[in-house]
Structure 1
């Protein structure tokens, strides 16, 4: 038996080689999915880590401790040091006074492990002994400090009553021994400190670095200590992430279980967010890759079935002779099956090796670096290969079933009898039912791609191809008869061969399913590209964005307007850290129409309409010009209520809140304690020589117990210098020109405005007297439902009332939240208006030297971004990498179909040549014989291309909405529905060209010469 099978393989080695090749392809296709998935997992983990800010990759334990808690904190620091592949850095920070001659101006004396390895000393030397400090270059220039300068530094604490830093410890002599620059402001060593990070709130307040003996030797009751775990090489390798996650969970549990430590120390760990993104990326990869890989494996099985069935049909006469000689059924089975099974078994290991190497090579070229020749099995690769081989053997045996069961008389016929009608109907029904069940499951599980849902594209393509294929035989027969009547013998012979050949329908199904797989792949890739481009536009907001150091909103807006007065190409944009409520994007809307990339998700209003709605009214503000202000008040100390003891503190403080008209930080022209009695109090303000807008007058009453203070504000005047008289800024203080918050009462009084200021219950709360022209609320554009409270945090962090003028699904940069005009927000601001992130968005008309122009206005660019860069970052994440596997699978599917087409011709070659020789002897022209072969394959290929394209469109209509494109859903964007025309036409054109080339090649290969 073995010898006979060996002889059969040797005699038909070309056919055996084809089966070996198909088995190898099936195994390679099965292995490609797990190997590609593993490669995507590694690449996406790298991308997620790269897209995570350095501070968020750092784990830290922070504590405000006294001298009795230092040992316990050191023990906690040792626990953090056990994180694998992380280096720990200890930091201690103490506020000190004495370095700056200005009263209340503190410096942050800071000890940090390994400092001298990460700074560049530009003058003097680095730290060596106790009592030594090094200062930053900007600080040294600002304060005139040089190496060798001595200072008496004292521990400082913040006094809530005076709102200033005061000396709280004994002065200690220190010496400035060096001036430093950070070697790399963005290196991981700086961790969460934010000393030099672009988004740090105090980028100009450089730390005063000192050694640990210096910090510990300074007399102080408490300090702030931090131990940070900085990631080292390999810390975030995909293989190590589970180990790191488990270690962090254990650390968090240990810290939380110790009540004494938890009271003063807190773990700051944002790595779980990174782990979740990586996990979500892996999950989506395991949905997207099988969505293309499983139909490809099924297609390989279909090709093997067509190959084995065709080869078996060609050996029907041989099977009949074996049966006539009395061979037992088991022997007949092994003689028939052994040839195919051995070929499949030989091809499997070759396919495993080729699939692994080829897939790794593709992954390395697409998003490497991937170790191509590392043959370590990817998770699931061996199981997938075994399933592919088992399926190949099963379909091969299934292809033999009919001929093994046929009687000898049927085997002796050249044209096999047609199958039973019920079997045809059952196959069609099964294909349709499976496709429907898969689609129903997809919808039932909210679009989760699992189970049969992963097979929806392939099953829909198969169902449509099988149903359409049933029309192939009758249509080909009719076409052949009509061609005979018209005398077109080549077309007639080709069409009649399609009608009579048993494998024609199988070939049609094979080609149609392959085109459907390729069409679905190109559609998925094109729509995914559109979705990433849309997301990139929303993430950046404009064609290009420039990041500048955190700055005051007025300074940013004034500088950008100075560069672009008409708002044609530059727009000031910023955000603040939101404590409670929706995020707010502050925008100078004057430039919104020409700079921002406006999308339908932002609402049904045009950017010009939105800008008109959000822009502040052009009313005349109260302008203060001068270097001195005089506030006239009438104040009487409050009487004790009932028998309650008098308040321990009864200071009343008034502050004029001013904003320079030329832009810049807000000015607080404050006073010391206001004494009872009517008098004029001068408030110094040097920043308003060119004019300031009066934002309000703040009153703070320091009395305890909730008592209230009553005062009357009579007038506000200003003068340029002491040699000039005061000029009234506000001609008359009346209630129609002033208003206060809900917690204060404002009433009219002869010659002024009477204000009742509530006292402190727990801590003082300011009451602000606002000009009547100050808006009561701020118009906003809402991305998503506006907050039910009708409030949001303004540009100064205070809560303001909002008035939504339009609503969309999302907003640029922040996704869901609010968009507020920067100038309008400043109208209501009474506090500090520093922006956490300050940006300049640029339109297409921005000049090449825009950065230089901004630098001349004091805005130094520290970061750059663009739509193209944002799209590139999205291209490196898991879903984008996984969806490219569809294109790879689609290309392999069409090549498999072409191989199947050539294989069927090779199986039929002997019979076709015999028929053609007989017809040539009867006078058939050589040209007609060649066209016969062409028409036997070309119409099947053309019909299959059209059918496959239709199947791909239907499959996308069912599945497309469920295909994931992003790891997160930070932006409520509607995914594109359909691809561009090229993405639909491209697979049809490519498949048609390939199949036509194969058909023409078959015509030449089967041509009979005279």
Structure 2
């Protein structure tokens, strides 16, 4: 029997080769899914790590360590050093006095492992012995020091009473031996230190490096120590993250469980955020790739079924002869199945190798050469290959079932008998029911793509195809009869062959499902691409953005307006970190219409309308210009034991900059004039308010009346009133304090506090009571938010959208309006300059000339590129690959069916030619036997793709996070469906034309 099967394979080697090819394709398709998933996992991890700042990749153990805690700290440092593929750097820092005796400022004496290897010595040499230090280049220039000079340094502590740094240790002579500059301030070695931030003040941030013996030898009770674990090559690779996560969890447990360590050391670790993003990316990849991979495997099985069923139908006469010779049923089975099973088994290893190599090539072409996997059988890949082979064998045997069960008389007929109607109806109904069940499960599990939910697009495509296929036979028969009556013999013969050939409906289903898979893929890719473009525009807010160093909000606005007074191409913007409440983006909204990329997600009002609603009122503020201020007050404490009451004028420079607090001295009882120096306000400051607060808890209620506020332009000029009168109609107070008129001024009761004093601030009535905001998402129910100074302010929403630029959900507030109501420091956590399309090429230099230091750059294009490298974007491209392979499989299936029927078709054509059928008519017969089926399948596949997207589209994930709460486009652009459909129709037409040429009969 083995020899007979071998002879059969040799005799029909072309058909056997086709089955081998289809088996290889099925195995390759099965292997491609898990292999591509592994590639995406690694590439997405690389992208997530690259988008994580170097400081956030560093694990640091920090603490203020005294002599009794050093052993415990060293033990924990050793545990940190055990992190796989991380390099640890020990740092010890002491505040010292003596390097800057003129100003009395402290310096930071710093020991850092291997610092000399990362510093460039511009003068002198690096450290060699105890008692030596090296200073930064800018520090040496500012202080006028050089190598060889000696200084006396001592450990410093901060005195809360005097609010000064004081010497607390025995002074020691130190020699300056060198002047340095960092080789690369941004290299990973510097970890979380931030020593060389371009906006850091030189005196406080540029460290004075020294050796460990010098730090240990200088008398001190405690120092600030840290051990930073800096990732080395491969430390954050995808296969290293699980072990790293376990090691960090153990370290946290050890730090938290040890009572001695509690409170003296802190583990600064932002890697769990990276781990969460990677896990989320992996989870989404495992939803998106099978969504395309599983239908492709099913399509391969369908092609194998069509191929085996067609080949079996062509061998019906042979099966009948074997049965007539008395062969046992088991022998008949192996003779019938042997060809297919052996061909499938031969194709499986070929498919495994081809699938692995092809996936590697596709991954490298899509996201670069990332080390993804080896050719050795991986568990997931090997299991997928085994499933694919088992499924191929099963469908091959299923295709044999009908002919093996048929009686000999039916096998001797050239035209097989029609099957039972109930069987085909049951199969069609089963496909429809399965699609409905899968769709219901998808909705029942809140759109989670798991189980049957992963098969919804394919099942919907199959259901539509089988339902439309039910109409194919009667329509083809009617078309054939009409063509006969009209004398169009080629069309009539082709249509009647479609109606009578059992494989026509199978071919239609195959082609329609393939088109549905491709249509769903192109739709997903198009919608995902547009969703990423939308998010990139929201993430950046403008065409380009420049990040600048930490700066005051007013100074940022003044600098940008000096560069662009009319707001045509640049806009000041920024955010401030907030512990509570929604995030807020502050922007100079005068430039909003010209600069911001305004989107429908921001609400139904235009950028110009929002800018007009958010800008501050035209009320003139109270402006102070001078070197001194004088407050006339009448103060009376209700109890003689009250704590010290402080009175402060809160001023803000008109040109922007840090706020000025004029006067904090103790207020004496009785009526007096109090002078407060304010040198910064010579060019003008806005009076934000007058603050009254107890210096410490324990104060009781006190009465204070503010009579007048006067300024003096210079030391020789007299005081002149800033505000002619302190009436209750010109002032108001916070904290629900009530102002009353008294003694020609305003009277307010300053409450005491048992735990924490709360300031009472008296502000001019021209200061807004609430700030208009644009809300991205529902506004806070409290009606409050944190302003630009971190204080809570009342807000008034003027519009509501689904999202806001840069922050997603939150609030948009005019930076000038927010500053008008601010009483505290208005330094921005993130300061930016948004640029519109009209921004000049030298914009960075112009901003630098205004004192802004550009530290980062971003753009819509760069943001889109970052999103393109993340897991969901990489995974969704597998849909397009799967769709392309599906269409090629369908074209192969059409050619395969024609090859199987070739002998019978040629016999029919030869017989008809002998009876006078024209050669041209015979050729058109072959064309019309396949082309209408293909075109109808394209139309049915498009309908199925649209229906599948309507059911599944809103559940397809596009992003690792949902920080911006954007609704993706609901439907693709028409060309995204039309162009692939036209391309597929042209492909199928080409195949049909090729079949006409291959099957033509020459005279």
TM-score normalized with structure 2 length: 0.96
**The 10-residue stretch of structure 1 (835-844 or 115-124) with the greater mean CA deviation from structure 2:** 115-124
2:897 to 888, 894, 904: 904
Partner residue in 2 for 1:643 = none
CA contact (8 A) 1:510 1:897 kept: yes
**The 10-residue stretch of structure 1 (157-166 or 887-896) with the greater mean CA deviation from structure 2:** 157-166
CA contact (8 A) 2:138 2:202 kept: no
In structure 2, relative to structure 1, the CA distance for the partners of 1:255 and 1:38 (3 Å cut) is same
Q: Indicate whether 1:752 and 2:745 are aligned.
A: yes
Partner residue in 1 for 2:727 = 734
In structure 2, relative to structure 1, the CA distance for the partners of 1:822 and 1:2 (3 Å cut) is same
Work out the CA distance in 2 between the residues paired with 1:762 and 1:210. 43
Look up the SS of the partner of 1:233 in the other structure.
coil
**The 10-residue stretch of structure 1 (138-147 or 864-873) with the greater mean CA deviation from structure 2:** 138-147
- TM-aligned CA deviation for residue 219 of structure 1: 3.9
CA contact (8 A) 1:702 1:760 kept: no
CA contact (8 A) 1:38 1:379 kept: no
2:672 to 679, 692, 703: 679
In structure 2, relative to structure 1, the CA distance for the partners of 1:611 and 1:467 (3 Å cut) is same
Work out the CA distance in 2 between the residues paired with 1:845 and 1:299. 52
- TM-aligned CA deviation for residue 712 of structure 1: 3.3
2:852 to 840, 851, 859: 859
- TM-aligned CA deviation for residue 671 of structure 1: 4.5
Partner residue in 2 for 1:403 = 403
Q: Indicate whether 1:820 and 2:813 are aligned.
A: yes
Q: Indicate whether 1:707 and 2:700 are aligned.
A: yes
For residues 511-534 of structure 1, give each alpha carbon's deviation from its aligned partner in whole angstroms, at most 9, with x where no partner exists.
001000000100011011011111
Q: Indicate whether 1:374 and 2:370 are aligned.
A: no
CA contact (8 A) 2:320 2:412 kept: yes
In structure 2, relative to structure 1, the CA distance for the partners of 1:191 and 1:594 (3 Å cut) is same
Work out the CA distance in 2 between the residues paired with 1:146 and 1:798. 46
Work out the CA distance in 2 between the residues paired with 1:320 and 1:704. 106
CA contact (8 A) 1:199 1:837 kept: no
Look up the SS of the partner of 2:618 in the other structure.
coil
Work out the CA distance in 2 between the residues paired with 1:111 and 1:890. 60
Gaps of 5+ in 2: none
For residues 712-760 of structure 1, give each alpha carbon's deviation from its aligned partner in whole angstroms, at most 9, with x where no partner exists.
3332222232222222222222332222321756432223333443456
Partner residue in 2 for 1:593 = 593
Partner residue in 2 for 1:535 = 535
Work out the CA distance in 1 between the residues paired with 2:522 and 2:50. 29
CA contact (8 A) 1:701 1:709 kept: no
CA contact (8 A) 1:155 1:219 kept: yes
In structure 2, relative to structure 1, the CA distance for the partners of 1:608 and 1:900 (3 Å cut) is same
1:833 to 826, 831, 841: 826
Partner residue in 2 for 1:64 = 64
In structure 2, relative to structure 1, the CA distance for the partners of 1:583 and 1:900 (3 Å cut) is same
For residues 606-655 of structure 1, give each alpha carbon's deviation from its aligned partner in whole angstroms, at most 9, with x where no partner exists.
22222122211111111111223333334456633xxxxx46xx444333
Q: Indicate whether 1:114 and 2:114 are aligned.
A: yes
For residues 654-683 of structure 1, give each alpha carbon's deviation from its aligned partner in whole angstroms, at most 9, with x where no partner exists.
332222212222223335434444433332
- TM-aligned CA deviation for residue 274 of structure 1: 1.0
In structure 2, relative to structure 1, the CA distance for the partners of 1:170 and 1:626 (3 Å cut) is farther
Work out the CA distance in 2 between the residues paired with 1:716 and 1:125. 58
CA contact (8 A) 1:595 1:841 kept: yes
In structure 2, relative to structure 1, the CA distance for the partners of 1:170 and 1:612 (3 Å cut) is farther
- TM-aligned CA deviation for residue 373 of structure 1: 8.5
Instruction: Please provide the CA RMSD for this pair.
Output: 2.1
**The 10-residue stretch of structure 1 (902-911 or 601-610) with the greater mean CA deviation from structure 2:** 601-610
CA contact (8 A) 1:203 1:549 kept: no
Look up the SS of the partner of 1:1007 in the other structure.
coil
- TM-aligned CA deviation for residue 703 of structure 1: 5.3
Work out the CA distance in 2 between the residues paired with 1:780 and 1:538. 18
2:863 to 846, 865, 870: 870
Work out the CA distance in 2 between the residues paired with 1:25 and 1:737. 83
2:682 to 684, 689, 692: 689
Gaps of 5+ in 1: 641-645
Partner residue in 1 for 2:926 = 933
Q: Write out aligned runs for 1:344-359 (5 A).
A: 344-359=344-359
In structure 2, relative to structure 1, the CA distance for the partners of 1:339 and 1:449 (3 Å cut) is same
In structure 2, relative to structure 1, the CA distance for the partners of 1:732 and 1:438 (3 Å cut) is same
- TM-aligned CA deviation for residue 320 of structure 1: 1.1
For residues 329-381 of structure 1, give each alpha carbon's deviation from its aligned partner in whole angstroms, at most 9, with x where no partner exists.
11111111111111111111111111111111111111131458831234411
Partner residue in 1 for 2:907 = 914
Q: Write out aligned runs for 1:296-375 (5 A).
A: 296-371=296-371, 374-375=374-375
Work out the CA distance in 2 between the residues paired with 1:991 and 1:203. 69
CA contact (8 A) 1:587 1:822 kept: yes
- TM-aligned CA deviation for residue 841 of structure 1: 0.5
- TM-aligned CA deviation for residue 694 of structure 1: 1.4
Work out the CA distance in 2 between the residues paired with 1:117 and 1:552. 36
In structure 2, relative to structure 1, the CA distance for the partners of 1:172 and 1:751 (3 Å cut) is farther
Work out the CA distance in 1 between the residues paired with 2:951 and 2:317. 46
Partner residue in 2 for 1:720 = 713
**The 10-residue stretch of structure 1 (194-203 or 846-855) with the greater mean CA deviation from structure 2:** 194-203
Look up the SS of the partner of 2:617 in the other structure.
coil
1:998 to 984, 991, 997: 991
**The 10-residue stretch of structure 1 (136-145 or 860-869) with the greater mean CA deviation from structure 2:** 136-145
Q: Indicate whether 1:435 and 2:435 are aligned.
A: yes
Work out the CA distance in 2 between the residues paired with 1:161 and 1:790. 40
Look up the SS of the partner of 1:470 in the other structure.
helix
Work out the CA distance in 1 between the residues paired with 2:142 and 2:834. 31
1:811 to 786, 789, 804: 804
Q: Indicate whether 1:783 and 2:776 are aligned.
A: yes
Work out the CA distance in 2 between the residues paired with 1:412 and 1:105. 107
Work out the CA distance in 2 between the residues paired with 1:214 and 1:733. 60
Partner residue in 1 for 2:194 = 194
CA contact (8 A) 1:810 1:817 kept: yes
Q: Indicate whether 1:515 and 2:508 are aligned.
A: no
CA contact (8 A) 2:39 2:373 kept: no
2:952 to 959, 984, 1004: 959
Partner residue in 1 for 2:505 = 505
